[in-house]
Amino acid sequence: MSAEYNERLDGKLPDWSLDQVLPMLQKILPARAIIYAPEALRPYECDGLSVYKCVPLVVVLPESTEQVIAILKLCDQQEIPIVPRGAGTGLSGGALPLKSGILLSLARMNQILSIDPHQQQARVQPGVRNLAISEAVADLGLYYAPDPSSQIACSIGGNVAENAGGVHCLKYGLTVNNIQSLECVLADGTLLEVGDDCLDRPGFDLLALLHGSEGMLAIVTEISVKLLPIPDAAKVMLISFDDVQCAGRAVADVIAAGVVPAGLEMMDKLAIQAAEDFAKAGYPRDAEAILLCELDGNALDVEVELAHLKTVFESSGALEVRVAESDEQRARFWAGRKSAFPAVGRISPDYYCMDGTIPRKALPDILQGISDLSKRYDLKVANVFHAGDGNLHPLILYDANIPSELKKVEEMGGEILQLCVSVGGTITGEHGVGREKINQMCVQFASAELQQFHATKSAFDPKRILNPNKNIPTLSRCAEFGAMHVHNGELPFPDLERF
Amino acid sequence: MQDAVLKALCDQVQHAYESKTGLNIQGSGSKAFLCQTAGSKVHPEASPNDKLDTVYNETVDTPYNETVDTPYKETLDTPYKETLDTTIYQGIVQYEPTELVITAKAGTPISEVEQALDEQGQMLAFEPPQLGENELVTVGSVGGTIGGMVASGLAGPRRPWSGGVRDYVLGTSIINGRGEHLRFGGQVMKNVAGYDVSRLMVGSLGSLGVLADISLKVLPKPACQQFYRFESTLTDLFVMLQQVSIKMTPITGVSHDGCYAHVRLEGRQKTLAQFARVQNWIFEERHQEELKQYWLQVRHHQHAVFRDEGPRGEGEGDNAIWQLSLPKWSALSSAKLASLNSPFLMDWAGARYWLKADMSHFEQLKEYVQSLKGHLRVYRGDQAIQYPALSPAILKLHQNLKQAYDPAGILNPLSVY
């Protein structure tokens, strides 16, 4: 069953035409902030998940919070659906446009507004790139910790919308743990500041609720990010294994040793070979699995922990433990991991990246399950795994030129995610639900839970104009998907509530 | 299969929903004083059901940045008809140290969870306070359930360095105001499926749902702790520590008790020794146990400032304990402290102060705290003015969320906005 927008299942969309919407926008925005020529709209038809495409009616590029307010007031009054977009690097179709809706790009709101070295915070606009923050504060000895793989390109506003992760989450947390406050605009144009510089605030934790809300509750216009001192030392170890299960157990042994590594990544044989061919990282091509383990902090602590973990890995059955002796070698070890996706892209015409999270102990079962599915669907899978926090990225290799192959991949991907749920995990660790995993949400959540989500949305956006029908499926969709958790046969058939 | 005790709790909530009966959600009762009444807008003569309607259906149409004082009013007789006892639902459900996650039922004592973690060399990094029973705390009487811990969102001295309760909540199951049992989040570190309802529960004082199961991220305990005490003014202390904090430090506690500044270090012993040497701090072996007790008192709200005996501020009215929540490194002016003449305790590197002062200082304190861009809260005292006001736009969102999670307004009715 396709995740694409289906008015029968997802609700009727208003029937706006460009002729109707354009004059209204031209009244409130300068000409340079509006894009509507068909060829200029094309780049906005998809985000980082290019298998879903839809050209929006019009793209607006506001340059100020006032303009965002004006746009939202218009959309609220006229009930025009609006899809927000950051840098467009998202991997779940969260910024997939609607054909009769406005696409709101925050790309031009890209200024770092202030840096406060004493409070160790920076105030930035949503279009600022993730890495640009760390670059701007590096001479103060500070950095912004969350580092999704797309950090060169992805924007901080998008990071908030997706609650983005990265390779350092186990030690430094997700986006939600690294943001101090947000200025945002509600669907009706109300401007508000959520959070402040204090650590204990009255009222509900709306700041947490907005993280990962995929642009469905509010549009973020300013962000105060927390900055951390750059660690004095960082060391990387490359550990190879002749058995994937053994590598999985070694991860548990690290945690049991009382060490919280800054990063702990695992790759399987197919991923190792692809990465090695691509990046010449010095990975052992014949290993069944490798771990990359980064330690950071005080120089003395790093040395002690490094020595400790060496013995831990050796007793866990590692074939070889190598420590990067120079910054250059350390960069090379990481280059292999960070280029794993494009490297896989070289050995296969196309690949589809999944994003489930599992309790680490379930890793052997999941890897076995993925291997079984791979045989059944006759599709190869390379596994890249944020082993420290249990976030798994299987890459399914396929060829989009073969008719029906994508459909097969989507089915297999869906089964992998259901496998993750069945071992107590989740369908998405860091990429978000967007449109891509809208059907799998029916597996992870029961109808009462989905209804609670819809009610949460309505508390912020009663007319449901902000990024409609992303993230949370309608009950009609779940009923049709056939995976709805039916409690005591009390499914409200036939008149399902539609949101 | 649903747990029978959980089922009974769901049934009770569902029945209360149908009969519009206010429920007083209670764990061990150690923090009941936090949700007696607050920010409610209820006319004292209104009937119980009218009260609930008035609280949550009133809309506010004031511009956003104009903070209105929430119409706090006189304390009501209890609006609760029934108590919902969460302590019947207790026990650790799952704990595997190598996953760094523990899952327990909401009625589980914090102490039980912490003991299980301690046996494996792990901890709740946010150091939740364990409070005594109903009255002001006495040393040795500690309690609290993890449900109350999450609902209150109270965290201890490590907060500025390691985060608060919300930073460690991975998943919850709740019973909403309709009596439906719902699961959000999970037992994994990364999870972005659906809205983050689990974190929304932190600090919501049970007003959005009855917490049932809670999964928390845990961390290894530090290898070693060292405690330092010196004479310093607040300003001098902060100037020194701000300079030091440009680099990574092993500091995990900065406090001042009115007489002495206190700093806590955590990590490997050699690292701590090296750090202290660079700062010229003198390690006093013989005072370590005493200083360790000091930090426990700060954490568990057992310090003299929380106790009813001992020195108190000047004034005519009732004594209250005030919580000042401020940006980090906020030094209260010595003139202000002198004019209040009340005992104080600084924690969180200046981001939190506890004051024991007469209620008559309310207006004066409120103005002062606002000038410091902070929040003033009556922690113990006249609960009619317990919580600070919210801006109208934020208040409206609170009312909408309350309506979304508890449409009949039965869960801890007057606990929050």
Specify the 3-state DSSP secondary structure of A409.
Answer: helix
Window 127-156 of A: residues touching B by CB (8 A cutoff) are 140-141
Q: Is A427 on the interface with B (CB under 8 A)?
A: yes
Query: Would you say A303 and A296 are in contact if contact means Cβ atoms under 8 Å apart?
Result: no
Distance CA A182, CA A187 (A): 16
Instruction: Find chain B residues with C-beta within 8 A of A424's C-beta.
Output: 186-188
CA distance A198 to chain B (A): 5
- pLDDT, tens digit, for every residue of A201-215? 999 999 999 999 999
How many other CB atoms sit within 10 Å of the CB of residue A405?
A: 16
Window 107-126 of A: residues touching B by CB (8 A cutoff) are 117-120
Distance CA A95, CA A157 (A): 12
In chain A, the percentage of residues whose pLDDT exceeds 70 is: 97
Instruction: Find chain A residues with C-beta within 8 A of B417's C-beta.
Output: 203
Answer yes or no: do A199 and B352 touch at CB < 8 A.
yes
A471, closest residue in chain B (CA to CA)? B194
From B176, B186, B351, residue closest to A198, measured CB to CB: B351
Query: Would you say A386 and A169 are in contact if contact means Cβ atoms under 8 Å apart?
Result: yes
CA distance A402 to chain B (A): 31
CA distance B375 to chain A (A): 7
Answer yes or no: do B196 and A209 touch at CB < 8 A.
yes
From A217, A390, A448, residue closest to B188, measured CB to CB: A390
The strand pairing partners of B262, in sequence order, are B229, B255
Distance CA A231, CA A214 (A): 32
Q: Is B246 on the interface with A (CB under 8 A)?
A: yes
Residues lower than pLDDT 70 in chain B: 1, 36-80, 133-142, 309-318, 382-386, 414-417
> Given this model, what pLDDT does residue B224 score?
96
DSSP string, A463-496: T--BSTTSSS--HHHHHHHT----STT----SS-
Order the strands of the B92-96 sheet from edge to edge. Answer: B92-96, B101-105, B210-217, B169-175, B181-185
Q: In A150-298, where does DSSP find H-type helix?
A: 156-162, 169-172, 206-210, 244-256, 269-279
The strand pairing partners of B24, in sequence order, are B83
B269, closest residue in chain A (CA to CA)? A301
Q: Is B393 on the interface with A (CB under 8 A)?
A: yes
Record: fold of A112-229 = 3.30.465
CATH superfamily, domain at A231-436: FAD-linked oxidases, C-terminal domain (3.40.462.10)
> Given this model, what pLDDT does residue B210 score?
98
Q: Is B245 on the interface with A (CB under 8 A)?
A: yes
B167, closest residue in chain A (CA to CA)? A177
Please give the mean pLDDT across all residues of chain A.
93
> Given this model, what pLDDT does residue B78 score?
45
From A177, A256, A455, residue closest to B167, measured CB to CB: A177
A251, closest residue in chain B (CA to CA)? B98
Which residues, other chains included, contact B39 with Cβ-Cβ below 8 Å and sequence gap of 6+? B70, B72, B386, B387, B389, B390, B416, B417
> Given this model, what pLDDT does residue B233 score?
95
B329, closest residue in chain A (CA to CA)? A119
From A202, A389, A430, residue closest to B377, measured CB to CB: A202
Cis status of the peptide bond prior to A494, with omega within 30 of 0: yes
From A120, A162, A359, residue closest to B99, measured CB to CB: A359
Answer yes or no: do B192 and A432 touch at CB < 8 A.
yes
Query: Would you say A383 and A366 are in contact if contact means Cβ atoms under 8 Å apart?
Result: no
Specify the 3-state DSSP secondary structure of A419.
Answer: helix
From B187, B193, B326, residue closest to A444, measured CB to CB: B193
Window 268-327 of A: residues touching B by CB (8 A cutoff) are 297-298, 300-301, 304
Specify the 3-state DSSP secondary structure of A375.
Answer: helix
Candidates B195, B207, B406, partner chain A, best to mutate (most A CBs within 10 A): B195
Window 83-122 of B: residues touching A by CB (8 A cutoff) are 96-101, 121
Query: Would you say A208 and A119 are in contact if contact means Cβ atoms under 8 Å apart?
Result: no
Beta strands in B158-250 (DSSP E): 169-175, 181-185, 210-217, 219-220, 224-230
Instruction: Find chain B residues with C-beta within 8 A of A212's C-beta.
Output: 192, 195-196
Answer yes or no: do A424 and B163 touch at CB < 8 A.
no
Candidates B191, B329, B375, B377, partner chain A, best to mutate (most A CBs within 10 A): B191
From A198, A217, A389, residue closest to B190, measured CB to CB: A389
Q: Is A490 on the interface with B (CB under 8 A)?
A: no
What angle, rounded to 10 degrees, do the helices at B392-405 and A447-460 form? 160
DSSP string, B277-337: HHHTPPP-GGGHHHHHHHHHHHHTT-SGGGSSSS-----SS-EEEEEEE--TTPPPPHHHH
Instruction: Determine whether domain A3-105 maps to CATH 3.90.1300.10.
Output: no
How many other CB atoms sit within 10 Å of the CB of residue B222?
A: 18
Listed by start position, the domains of chain A span 3-105, 112-229, 231-436, 438-498
Candidates B166, B192, B348, B376, partner chain A, best to mutate (most A CBs within 10 A): B192
Cβ contacts below 8 Å, chain A against chain B, sum to 254
CA distance A358 to chain B (A): 6
Nearest 5 degrees, angle CA A285-CA A289-CA A293?
105
Q: Is B349 on the interface with A (CB under 8 A)?
A: no
Q: Is A40 on the interface with B (CB under 8 A)?
A: no
Distance CA B266, CA A257 (A): 17
Distance CA A199, CA A197 (A): 7
CA-to-CA separations, A95 to A466, A478, B115, in angstroms, rounded: 11, 22, 46
ipTM of the complex: 0.94
> Given this model, what pLDDT does residue B342 score?
87
- Mean pLDDT of all residues in A43-61: 96
The predicted model scores a pTM of: 0.92
Distance CA B317, CA B311 (A): 15
- pLDDT, tens digit, for every residue of A367-394? 899 999 999 999 999 999 999 889 999 9
Per-residue pLDDT band for A341 (boundaries 50, 70, 90) equals: confident
Q: Is B14 on the interface with A (CB under 8 A)?
A: no
Instruction: Find chain B residues with C-beta within 8 A of A259's C-beta.
Output: 220
